[in-house]
Amino acid sequence: MLVIKDLHASINGKEILKGINLNVKPGEVHAIMGPNGAGKSTMSNVLVGHPKYVVTKGSVTFNGKNLLDMAPEVRSHEGLFLSFQYPVEIPGVSMVNFMRSAINEQRKYHNLEPLAAGKFLKLMREKRAFVEMDSKLSNRAVNEGFSGGEKKRNEIFQMAMLEPTLAILDETDSGLDIDALRIVADGVNKLKAPDRSAIVITHYQRLLDYIKPDIIHVLYDGRIVKTAGPELALELEEKGYDWIKEELGE
């Protein structure tokens, strides 16, 4: 589904990703862990096409297509979704208008008619229940005045609406209390399907108790330095990252 080969990327001339290789197959959940500044968020931003990051080398194919050639909105239409670490507040743009535009643009891309108003609102209701989101929130402007937890819940709500084939969750657990974490994780798990994959970026084992990964990678200094099964997360939780650095001889 997603094949990353020797990906190098920089921001403001500074190289952050220094040769990432990753292969995500349909139905798999990958976790990416790593110390601060390793390049985890850079990797997710590069994948969704953030204009601030420049890819200097390497390739990314998504379902056989060259992902790096696509505009950000096309990547979205092709099934890529990023749950942002810091969701943006957009004053004045209502959740309803925002989601309607997003859904209908996606449908347009797939040569489908826009969703009728009634059907759209029904879909909103259904998916809201998914993440136990208050109907009041969906009547407000996008993320405006939302608490940290509400913002993250809203990300998962949008994911449920757009039904991506590959979701990247960038520190979706940060700033969440235990109840919110469970709700968000449940939301993610309910979206699991044989043809859908996820990349979960996190610092902590905690989220991985809820969202069970198949494979865990450690990203360090712009490279994936270790790949193993779920047991790796426990080891990291216990020992931190220093032993990996030592293994690397640093």
Partner 1 sequence: MNIEQQYIDLFEEQYDALCHNSTELMNAPRKEAMAHFEKQGIPKKGVERYRYTRLDDVLKVDYGVNMQCLLPKFNPYKEFECDAKGLGTDLHFLVNGVYYDKKPSDAEGVYVGSLKKFAAEHPERLRPYYNRLAAAQKDSMAEFNTAFVQDGLLLFVPRNTKVEDTIQLINILHSNVDMIIFRRILVVIEQGAEAKLLLCDHVTQQQRYFSSQVIEVFVGENAHLDIYDLEETHNLTARVNHVYVEQEGNSNVVINGTTLHNGLTRNDIYVDMIGQGANVELSGMAIADKEQHVDNHTFVRHKVPNCTSHELFKYVLDDVAVGAYSGRVLVERDAQKSYSEQSSKNLCLNSKAHMYTQPQLEIYADDVKCSHGATVGQLDEDALFYMMQRGIPKTEARMLLMFAFVSDVIDQIRIPSLQERLHHLTEQRFRGELDQCAGCALCQK
d(C-alpha 148, C-alpha 158), whole Å: 16
- Contact between 98 and partner 1 per CB under 8 A: yes
Among 56, 59, 66, 101, binds partner 1 (CB under 8 A): 101
Are 197 and 26 a contacting pair, CB within 8 Å? Answer: yes
Amino acid (one-letter) located at 238: E
- Contact between 106 and partner 1 per CB under 8 A: yes
- Contact between 210 and partner 1 per CB under 8 A: no
- Contact between 123 and partner 1 per CB under 8 A: no
Q: Which of 51, 48, 38 is nearest to 11 (CA)?
A: 51
Q: Where in 193-243 does DSSP place strands (E)?
A: 197-201, 215-220, 223-228
Nearer to partner 1, 18 or 50 (CB): 50
Among 37, 72, 114, 240, binds partner 1 (CB under 8 A): 72
Among 14, 71, 111, 178, binds partner 1 (CB under 8 A): 71
Q: Which stretch binds partner 1 (CB under 8 A): 16-24, 65-73, 198-206, 219-227?
A: 65-73
Are 168 and 31 a contacting pair, CB within 8 Å? Answer: no
Dihedral sign for Cα atoms in the order 131, 134, 137, 139: positive
Nearer to partner 1, 163 or 221 (CB): 163
- Contact between 92 and partner 1 per CB under 8 A: yes
Query: Can you read off the two tokens belonging to residue 1?
Result: 């589904």
Nearer to partner 1, 142 or 232 (CB): 142
Among 81, 146, 157, 220, binds partner 1 (CB under 8 A): 81
Among 6, 23, 65, 73, binds partner 1 (CB under 8 A): 73
Contacts of 124 (CB under 8 A, 6+ apart): 96, 99, 138, 161
Among 2, 20, 60, 82, binds partner 1 (CB under 8 A): 82
Cβ at position 250, least distance to partner 1 in Å: 34
Length of the chain: 250
Within 131-190, which residues bind partner 1 (CB under 8 A)? 141-142, 158, 162
Residue 6: which region, alpha, beta or left (left: phi > 0; alpha: psi -120 to 50)?
left
Are 170 and 83 a contacting pair, CB within 8 Å? Answer: yes
* SS3 call for 179: helix
Interface contacts to partner 1, rule CB under 8 A: 48-51, 71-73, 75-77, 81-82, 84, 87-93, 97-98, 101-102, 105-106, 109, 141-142, 158, 162
